[in-house]
Amino acid sequence: MATVVLESLRKSFGKTEVIHGVSIDVEDGEFIVIVGPSGCGKSTLLRMVAGLETVTSGSVAIGDRVVNDVEPMDRDISMVFQNYALYPHMSVFDNIAYGLKIAKLPRAEIAERVKNAAEILQLGPYLDRKPRELSGGQRQRVAMGRSIVRKPAVFLFDEPLSNLDAKLRVQMRLEIKSLQRRLGVTALYVTHDQVEAMTLADRMIVMNSGVTEQIGKPLDVYASPKTAFVAGFIGSPPTNFLESDPTQRVLPASCRLGIRPEHIRVVDPEQGVCVGTVVFSEPLGAETLVHLRLLDGQSLTLRQDGLLRVPGENELIGVAWNRSDEMIFSADGKRAFREEEDNKGSPDT
Amino acid sequence: MADTGGMVENRGIQRWLTHMGLMIGVAFIFFPIWLAFVASTVEQQEIVRPPMPLLPGDQFVDNYARALTAGVNAPVMRMLFNSAIMALGIAFGKIAISLLSAFAIVYFRFPGRHLFFWLIFLTLMLPVEVRIVPTYEVVARFGMLNSYPGLILPLVASATATFLFRQFFLTVPDELAEAARVDGARPMRFFIDILLPMSRTNIAALFVILFIYGWNQYLWPLLITTDPSMNTVVMGIKQMFPSGDDTADWPVIMATALLAMLPPVVIVIAMQRLFIRGLVDSEK
Ligand SMILES: Nc1ncnc2c1ncn2[C@@H]1O[C@H](COP(=O)(O)OP(=O)(O)OP(=O)(O)O)[C@@H](O)[C@H]1O
Ligand SMILES: [Mg+2]
């Protein structure tokens, strides 16, 4: 229930700068996911919004108020930590109620709010237990409960699901999303899991070594990555990068051609844009990943429907793709365009 | 069944032997205490005349009552009370000071943090016995001879407990402090609501150790309490020995010795239960 505006935010630890000027406008009620590889500064960025880390330069504004020098408790935020950070000696009830007790809310209201939160999160039967008597998923819910009872303007999540097993992760992902929708609270969510990012985000921010590479709707980011890093990071398996165009056409100097595995089709060798030998295939049921070595030695991964024939090892096959699916990246990693290319696939969305 | 029988028997014998060994050991350690107990229940003449009795006599109530109310120099009741004040003062004082200083060292970044840390570390090398002369001088000048503060304060300042708590606080995840901060807890609130309850097993363990440490102090009370009514019981026993040719009142001395042993035993047994509960409950 508030906007969050980061303006050319920088952070240095000692002499090393780890966040190099990040600017983001988060709208009221938006679910923003910050995604990037380990060590790129996601947590640091989030912690600056929370007030747990000081701001070296730039500003953080929550709901039109610059909060650079405001204590975390007065920022109207709540945070869910990766390891949940539940108070081990307190019952679930006390864990959820602690913030309210400090805020000196009347007992009746505390009980009421905790009850509501417990109901939403199905924690009713566990209110008297200690955190260690709960499963990972339940602990996760308690951490969520602790953050929703305070009715903050902004939810902050730092990889809240990374300690859960794959199945629970999917389930909690849905719960977090529906909870955020129901409460209409602005959320900033950090993860290194691109599936989480794609499914949760209204808009996602792809970060790489302290800078934002791209901000946009998940599908837009997927469809038209602005940089080679984004193209390689979003999508699984990652985009193929070819140094030289195997289709015999000439690439602009020192540019790379990116093509997503799912955009490549297997065809007869003589009909293909190029040909290659199969190094190995990975049939995954619904889909099959085929790893190829092209004639000029470059490798290429393609992804095809699981119902199609799985090419055998060392088989010579042809591959083809639509030119509109090609992405050209210049040497500095930025997206470049061929002259003849129409605007389809332009990254400016 | 039949073929395992031998093994079971074998193990039975082994267990028997181990237990025998342990019982002999216990008897060996316990014998002097038993002798002291016997001596505290008979009359003076029976002790000095050999052979020493090995079975308790009928003077139990009489001897103990005499020790508690009259003693030799001061009533043992009074000395037990002094010891209790001193031991509790040292235990609580040390725990309070070390908790707070460990909290400061671990959670706050203040100028001279490392310096203070090393200063505290240095005090480890300076037990009372080493600094006894200057400490005596200081206490005397403050007019704290023959007083409880004089007994307690010089022994409160030491670093062992600070280290223990520092080590423990370092294992508490940072996120806990951060979560509390987001929840709105100021530092002292975090300390009281979260850190203290989490350290309770450590506190209990330290309390036992420090209580016994304080209770068993000998040299320091001997030095600074000249007034018999300020004597602690452990040093008081020594003071009961007669000087010159006087006859020692052995039954009363032995009764005092046993009474002096009792509180530490009670504390250990009482806190042991808390210990075990703490261990079963252990967090993190
Ligand atoms: N307190 C600190 N002191 C010095 N450097 C730090 C500190 N905290 C983080 N860094 C550095 O800042 C960079 C970003 O760290 P950060 O924790 O934000 O990464 P992250 O994107 O959250 O990674 P992960 O996905 O592994 O959690 C890292 O290179 C890290 O070494
Ligand atoms: Mg992180």
Judge whether residue A130 has pLDDT over 90: yes
**Best residue in A71, A73, A80 for a mutation probing chain B (most B CBs within 10 Å):** A73
- Secondary structure in 3-state letters for A151-207: CCCEEEEECCCCCCCHHHHHHHHHHHHHHHHHHCCEEEEEECCHHHHHHHCCEEEEE
Touching check for B15 and chain A: CB below 8 Å? Answer: no
Distance from CA of B204 to the nearest CA of A (A): 16
Touching check for B172 and chain A: CB below 8 Å? Answer: no
The pLDDT assigned to A68 comes to 92
| Torsion angle of C-alpha atoms A38, A39, A45, A50, degrees rounded to 10 | 80
The pLDDT of B170-190, averaged and rounded, is 92
Provide the token pair at A183.
Answer: 């409460």
The answer to whether residues B44 and B25 touch, using CB atoms and an 8 Å cutoff, is no
Judge whether residue A302 has pLDDT over 90: yes
The pLDDT of B55-71, averaged and rounded, is 82
pTM: 0.81
The answer to whether residues B134 and B171 touch, using CB atoms and an 8 Å cutoff, is no
B184/A89 Cβ within 8 A: no
Considering only residues A246 and B61, tell me which one the structure prediction assigns the higher pLDDT.
B61
Task: State whether ipTM is beyond 0.85.
Answer: no
The answer to whether residues B240 and B254 touch, using CB atoms and an 8 Å cutoff, is no
Spatial CA neighbour of A46 closest among A76, A20, A81, A13 = A81
Judge whether residue B3 has pLDDT over 70: no
The pLDDT of A327-345, averaged and rounded, is 69
Provide the token pair at B9.
Answer: 């028997």
Rounded CA Rg of chain A: 24
The pLDDT assigned to A342 comes to 44
CA distance B96 to A147: 33
CA distance A170 to A159: 13
Provide the token pair at B47.
Answer: 């002790």
Chain B residue numbers touching A102 (CB-CB < 8 A): 183-185, 189
Touching check for B109 and chain A: CB below 8 Å? Answer: no
Rounded CA Rg of chain B: 25
Judge whether residue A347 has pLDDT over 70: no
| Helix orientation angle between B160-171 and B76-107, rounded to the nearest 10 degrees | 40
CA distance B178 to A50: 10
- Cα B106 to middle of ligand 2, angstroms: 23
Distance from CA of A226 to the nearest CA of B (A): 35
B178/A85 Cβ within 8 A: yes
Sheet holding A274-283, edge to edge: A265-267, A316-320, A274-283, A287-294, A299-305
Distance from CA of A42 to the nearest CA of B (A): 16
Q: pLDDT of B217-240, one tens digit each?
A: 888 899 898 888 888 888 888 888
The pLDDT assigned to A349 comes to 37
Give ligand 1 pocket residues (Cβ under 6 A): A 13, 18, 36, 38-44, 192
Judge whether residue B283 has pLDDT over 90: no
Q: pLDDT of A12-55, one tens digit each?
A: 999 999 999 999 999 999 999 999 999 999 999 999 999 999 99
**Best residue in B183, B192, B195 for a mutation probing chain A (most A CBs within 10 Å):** B183
* Among chain A residues, CA nearest to B175: A85
Spatial CA neighbour of A307 closest among A286, A282, A278, A280 = A286
pLDDT bucket at B277, cuts 50 / 70 / 90: low
pLDDT bucket at A343, cuts 50 / 70 / 90: very low
The pLDDT assigned to B70 comes to 78
Nearest to A88 among B182, B183, B283 (CB): B283
**DSSP state at residue A246:** T
| HSE-CB of B94 using CA atoms within 13 angstroms | 32
Judge whether residue A211 has pLDDT over 90: yes
pLDDT bucket at B44, cuts 50 / 70 / 90: confident
The pLDDT of B123-128, averaged and rounded, is 76
For a mutational test of ligand 1's pocket, the pick from A16, A35, A40, i.e. the residue with the most ligand atoms closer than 8 A to its C-beta, is A40
For chain A, percent of residues with pLDDT exceeding 90: 62
Touching check for B85 and chain A: CB below 8 Å? Answer: no
For chain B, percent of residues with pLDDT exceeding 90: 32
Q: Which helix (H) or strand (E) holds A23?
A: strand A16-26
pLDDT bucket at A1, cuts 50 / 70 / 90: low
Distance from CA of A43 to the nearest CA of B (A): 12
